[in-house]
């Protein structure tokens, strides 16, 4: 499994129907979960030793492309593959020089070049108490295992990266406070599953598009309004919102450990979210009302 896209827990109700709803409620209840901070960096950078030829490389997620694979072993490769996006190319040039040449393949988010204390790589602005002395600010979060790039399996919560010229941000996170209401709310949500007619996968994709449209337009996810637009009973969306609320209560008890303040514009905010893994899967925990609207509308200057 390549780490290209993680789902929101509540979307499992739309993707996988009744089975997905029960599974995601078990996911949120599991007390053995591992968590890491989801930094809002850009672009995502993949680097390491290619097991197929033992050469060090850097790249974007395009190293995992099925057709036009873009793996960069040299500065010349970077210009060939990414010269049309100078900002991305300049980031990869420095990553090729500075990221640690350790065995394995890894992924992280580029936050910025060193020398400053305030960085806005994408939607969130990160403010550090002091200027960064290292050449790169970087948040690593995933390691890969396998004999070939195309068949690699992702393991999340990679926190062991070290390099003298790279400031690797702490992605450590843990649940330090668990609301006593959580288990009761999860039990109630499981009971309500029996009263819901779930969409099939194709219908679920259409509904997800409509939900995202509501978020983009800053509209409340009102079950009656969603029922009118989708043709599905409002009970589906009451359950959807119930799962979102359980997720937010769980998130309120998460503690992080990097000394950094986060802002959207001039307004202080929490981190973009977290990645949580347990026996029921791996999902991203994001306050979509706070963050997703901003993410939908932000200008992605790093691409230009």
Whole-prediction pTM: 0.87
**pLDDT at residue 299, rounded to an integer:** 53
β pairing state of 55-59 and 166-168: unpaired
Q: Residue 106: inside a domain, yes or no?
A: yes
**pLDDT at residue 297, rounded to an integer:** 57
Q: Which of 137, 172, 207 is the last residue of a domain?
A: 172
Side by side, the strands of the sheet bearing 267-269 are: 118-119, 125-127, 261-264, 267-269
Q: Which of 139, 172, 205 is the last residue of a domain?
A: 172
What residue numbers bound the domain in which 281 lies? 9-38+176-303
Do 33 and 57 have their domain in common?
no
**pLDDT at residue 303, rounded to an integer:** 55
**pLDDT at residue 294, rounded to an integer:** 61
Question: pLDDT digit of tens for each residue in the chain (304 aa)?
Answer: 455 578 999 999 999 999 999 999 999 999 999 999 999 999 999 999 999 999 999 999 999 998 899 999 999 999 999 999 999 999 999 999 999 998 899 999 999 999 999 999 999 999 999 999 999 999 999 999 999 998 898 887 676 778 999 999 999 999 999 999 999 999 999 999 999 999 999 999 999 999 999 998 989 999 999 999 999 999 999 999 999 999 999 999 999 999 999 999 999 999 999 999 999 999 999 998 877 656 655 555 545 5
**pLDDT at residue 300, rounded to an integer:** 53
What is the domain count for the chain? 2
Do 165 and 190 have their domain in common?
no
Q: Residue 286: inside a domain, yes or no?
A: yes
């Amino acid at each position: 499994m390549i780490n290209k896209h993680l789902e929101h827990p509540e979307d499992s109700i739309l993707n996988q129907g009744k089975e997905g709803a029960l599974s995601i409620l078990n996911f949120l209840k599991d007390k053995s979960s591992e968590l890491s901070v989801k930094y809002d960096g850009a672009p995502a950078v993949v680097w390491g030793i290619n097991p197929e030829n033992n050469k060090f490389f850097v790249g974007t997620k395009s190293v995992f492309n099925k057709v036009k694979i873009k793996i960069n072993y040299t500065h010349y490769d970077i210009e060939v593959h990414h010269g049309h996006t100078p900002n991305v190319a300049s980031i990869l040039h420095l990553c090729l020089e500075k990221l640690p040449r350790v065995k394995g393949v890894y992924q992280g988010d580029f936050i910025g070049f060193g020398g400053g204390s305030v960085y806005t790589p994408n939607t969130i602005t990160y403010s550090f108490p002091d200027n960064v002395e290292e050449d790169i600010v970087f948040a690593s979060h995933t390691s890969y295992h396998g004999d070939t790039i195309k068949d690699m399996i992702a393991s999340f919560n990679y926190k062991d990266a070290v390099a003298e010229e790279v400031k690797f941000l702490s992605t450590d996170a843990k649940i330090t406070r668990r609301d006593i209401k959580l288990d009761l709310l999860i039990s109630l949500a499981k009971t309500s599953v029996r009263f819901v007619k779930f969409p099939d996968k194709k219908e679920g994709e259409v509904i997800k598009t409509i939900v995202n449209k509501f978020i983009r337009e800053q509209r409340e996810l009102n079950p009656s309004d969603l029922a009118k637009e989708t043709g599905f009973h409002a009970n589906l969306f009451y359950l959807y919102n119930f799962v979102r609320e359980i997720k937010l209560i769980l998130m309120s008890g998460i503690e992080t450990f990097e000394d950094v303040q986060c802002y959207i514009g001039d307004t202080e905010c929490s981190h973009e979210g977290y990645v949580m893994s347990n026996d029921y899967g791996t999902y991203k925990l994001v306050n979509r009302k706070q963050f997703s609207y901003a993410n939908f509308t932000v200008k992605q200057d790093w691409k230009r």
